[in-house]
Amino acid sequence: MRIIKQTKLFFHEGKSDKVYEIDLCEINPDAFIVNFRYGRRGAALKEGSKTPEFVSREKAEHIFDQLEKEKRNKGYQSEVEVFVELPSLETLNVDSKEGVILKRLEDATQGINSFKTGWKTSRVIWKAAQMDIKEAASYILKLATKGDEMQLYASVFAIRRLKIIQASELLHSIAHSTRHKQYIRNVAFDALLTINEGSELEKIVSELLESLPAEIRYAIDKGDYDSLKKYYAEKFDKKKKQMS
């Protein structure tokens, strides 16, 4: 049995301190299962399975992603999202441009608004990235998956721009989740390639290549760029005909 995909989610609020782990495993090329474990963090976890029978990889991916979505909707997040330490803004100059952005981000994590005007959180995150405010990193990690699609997109953009290396696990989850739209998965992969180096970067490139169709991987291995152009030209023509 080989683990294809795995995620570990946490819920930490008041006296509640729980963990939920999900595994997508390959039994053989045509048989996959989705298992889970849950319980109090640090204690022995209870185990279960969402697949009493073997299923296809496509079906297993769907089950995995839906289970992760269900838990995230209940307030579970990745370890870095839950336990990242937020900075103190006591000595912050709230009249400065950076101060206003950081204060708005702090407000967003607390669900309040200290300003006369309201800004969408996605706009604040985007502005923090454009202004290269490194101190915004922990707030962005907290807020990335807490809002709408635009907030997630802005967060991934900011993670890439600010090179927030702690976000690797979160980006990996986004890039491999079919519950997110393809353009968000693409920018998450791009962010992973941007913020990582060395052996970790090589691992991500390998994963990306494995996700491509077999004929594309073969053409890349052989350096056959004419075949690549032909493949994508045919795909484009087919899509164009479907839209006409």
Residue 34: CB partners within 8 Å, gap ≥ 6? 22, 23, 24, 25, 49, 50, 51, 60, 63, 64, 67
Confidence of residue 43 (pLDDT cuts 50, 70, 90): very high
User: Among residues of the chain, what percentage have pLDDT more than 70?
Assistant: 97
Helical packing angle, 121-130 and 149-162, nearest 10°? 20
Residue ranges of domains in the chain: 2-80, 87-208, 212-243
Confidence of residue 47 (pLDDT cuts 50, 70, 90): very high
203 or 75: which carries more pLDDT confidence? Answer: 75
Note the pLDDT of residue 197. Answer: 83
Burial of 236 (0-12, 13-18, 19+ CB in 10 A): exposed
Residue 180: DSSP 8-state: S
Amino acid in position 217: R
- Which pLDDT does position 133 carry in this prediction? 96
**Which DSSP helix (H) or strand (E) runs through 211?**
none
Please tell me the predicted confidence (pLDDT) of residue 27. 95
What is the model's pTM?
A: 0.76
Quick check: 37 pLDDT over 80? yes
Q: Under a CB-based contact definition with an 8 Å cutoff, are residues 144 and 81 in contact?
A: yes
What mean pLDDT comes out for the span 82-102? 87
The rounded mean pLDDT for the chain is 89
> 176: how many CB neighbours lie within 10 A of its CB?
20
- Model confidence at 243, pLDDT cuts 50, 70, 90, reads low
pLDDT at 231 over 80: no
